[in-house]
Structure 1
């Protein structure tokens, strides 16, 4: 079986790593090719992840780069289609909720190549978010929907998907998935591949990363912030209010670190906004980010992945949005939604407390194995 994984952005490289590991163990049954669209292209946002995570070099690098949603998605569609026509894969795998995800799914479905969506079923229920459009459309053209949580399965059930394997429970690893009654499109609860990745690389990060020493940081003595969503960066009022909140937290005596996403950096130049009293950093590697997250007193972010990693490390999280697709983190009390209200950002961050013990919703760290098990047997 020939399988093509299509990736292009930092979170997708992380999700790809556990899949690659599982694919390697099944190499007698699967030929796995990687297509990198080039959505993220700086070293700090792209190649460093392949280097750190031990991923093989992409078989194709399409070099699309940045641009408007329409331009970027259109260029990806065109270039992905050329690769798929040449390679004629049996299955295409897409990851997450970026323009790369949607372009890969559309190109494949129009060529009648089955599509597998890793991290399917997530919903913020905010159609103003480009990521929400990408998620919904990708799910509805996919043949395999690999869900990270039971809640994601239920979202798909409410949208009319009925081919739910094992009743939506976590797929047993000792099973043959073809023994379960099913039909296409197939919905499978695999657990979360990002949790797989954290378990794979957290120990390596402890051994290799020296970011705390480099920045002269003490554990639990700083706040870590990330801002990159278009809804925040493309709205000067929202961005200004968030920066005001971060500045006030720093002035209250809790240092704030802000690794700056290229989109945010560009918007700051365009708007003339400059974070004061906030320690601005270049983008950091995955291993460095894990160490910064694990040792933060509180994390402030608009990133879905960072929200989850905060939960994995049991660090209180303040989400700079009005809604989240990772509702489990909010229900457990580890994550608080504050939007862009500066007053609330400061209050919640400075008063952040640990959440409650709850049922672990993200699987057992073997999601990648379940994905590969399913595609081999089905």
Structure 2
């Protein structure tokens, strides 16, 4: 069986690393399963891409399509044109995509038009917000996918509502947690720890990158000001996403306890998360990591595609209005934040289950 694995953006890299490990292990056991890794180049910044390959031990891609940059449409088109050529030159029995980034959708479309089966890891998650580019990517990808690997029973039910039969749905857990648990002993103290004189449990981590939070300069500044005010003088460590940096570069935002820093590598960022008092974010993936590490998380979004981080984990969905921050910070400061638990099958063995299902599929080639 020849499997082409697609990666292109930061969230993908944490999800493919353990899948590659599981494929290599299965191959070593004598199963005729091979993989080819295609990096679309969607994220081309070193901190957003190459560092992840180094730190997570991901092998060098067989090809980098270098399709990054441009508008959503330009990027989608570039990925599709370049991946079509690559897949025609290197046919596969299966194209495996992960998550919900542009590369996921674009490569799925190409594969299906070339009559190649598609497996979607992290299938079925939905935010219900069609204004999110990721939601469009999820809907389109799942509309043409053959095999659905899911992280939760909520995702399973979303797929069933769309007419997907149970024999195509594989409830396996969360590959991002495979990587998190494997790499936790390797977390690396970032330089900001010493320069800001940080102490475990006595600082906050902030990340913001979604258009609803960062594209309006004044609203972004008011949001940051409110977080700084409510922090109670705790240091607020803010690794600034390139999208957010372009907005903040036009401002003079500053506060004695606000630290604007460059994006961190995976091992450095999660070191900060592990020892933080809390995380304030608009990311989906970070809410999964905080849930497993037991760290209070405030999500500045109106909806989430990962509801289990709220119903089971440590995450609370606050919306995008600064007024919602006050009550959340009060709970944080008075020690009444919920403890949370870890969702079912988020146990570090998801990738093994995925590969076990793949090699058991009767319709795929094993020569």
TM over 0.5: yes
In structure 2, what is the equivalent of residue 368 of structure 1?
351
1:157 equivalenced with 2:140 (yes/no): no
Structure 2 CA distance, aligned partners of 1:53 and 1:20? 11
- Unaligned runs of 5+ residues in structure 1 are 165-181
The alpha carbon displacement at 1:308 in A equals: 0.7
Aligned with residue 66 of structure 1, among 66, 69, 82: 69
Closer/same/farther in 2, CA of residues 119 and 273 from structure 1, 3 Å limit:
farther
Q: Is the 8 A contact 1:298 1:349 kept in 2?
A: no
Partner SS for 1:219: coil
Partner deviation per Cα, 1:45-96 (whole Å, 9 max, x = no partner): 1110000011101111111122211111111111111110110011111111
In structure 2, what is the equivalent of residue 226 of structure 1?
207
Q: Is the 8 A contact 2:294 2:314 kept in 1?
A: yes
1:88 equivalenced with 2:91 (yes/no): yes
Partner SS for 1:18: helix
Closer/same/farther in 2, CA of residues 268 and 359 from structure 1, 3 Å limit:
closer
In structure 2, what is the equivalent of residue 201 of structure 1?
183
1:103 equivalenced with 2:106 (yes/no): yes
Aligned with residue 121 of structure 2, among 99, 102, 118: 118
Closer/same/farther in 2, CA of residues 215 and 92 from structure 1, 3 Å limit:
farther
The alpha carbon displacement at 1:240 in A equals: 3.0
In structure 1, what is the equivalent of residue 338 of structure 2?
355
In structure 1, what is the equivalent of residue 131 of structure 2?
128
In structure 2, what is the equivalent of residue 36 of structure 1?
39
Q: Relative to structure 2, which stretch is displaced further, 92-101 or 25-34?
A: 25-34
Partner deviation per Cα, 1:298-349 (whole Å, 9 max, x = no partner): 1000111101111111111000101111111211362122222223224413
Structure 2 CA distance, aligned partners of 1:9 and 1:101? 10
Aligned with residue 253 of structure 2, among 243, 258, 274: 274
In structure 1, what is the equivalent of residue 270 of structure 2?
290
Closer/same/farther in 2, CA of residues 22 and 84 from structure 1, 3 Å limit:
same
Aligned with residue 327 of structure 1, among 307, 316, 336: 307
- Unaligned runs of 5+ residues in structure 2 are 362-367
Q: Is the 8 A contact 1:314 1:354 kept in 2?
A: no
Q: Is the 8 A contact 2:291 2:340 kept in 1?
A: no
Partner SS for 1:336: strand
Partner SS for 2:260: strand
1:306 equivalenced with 2:286 (yes/no): yes
Q: Is the 8 A contact 2:313 2:343 kept in 1?
A: no
Report the TM-score, using the length of structure 1 for normalisation.
0.89
1:24 equivalenced with 2:3 (yes/no): no
1:248 equivalenced with 2:229 (yes/no): yes
Structure 1 CA distance, aligned partners of 2:324 and 2:198? 26
Report the TM-score, using the length of structure 2 for normalisation.
0.91
The alpha carbon displacement at 1:295 in A equals: 0.5
Structure 2 CA distance, aligned partners of 1:246 and 1:116? 40
Q: Is the 8 A contact 1:15 1:197 kept in 2?
A: yes
Structure 1 CA distance, aligned partners of 2:100 and 2:254? 29
Q: Is the 8 A contact 1:148 1:189 kept in 2?
A: yes
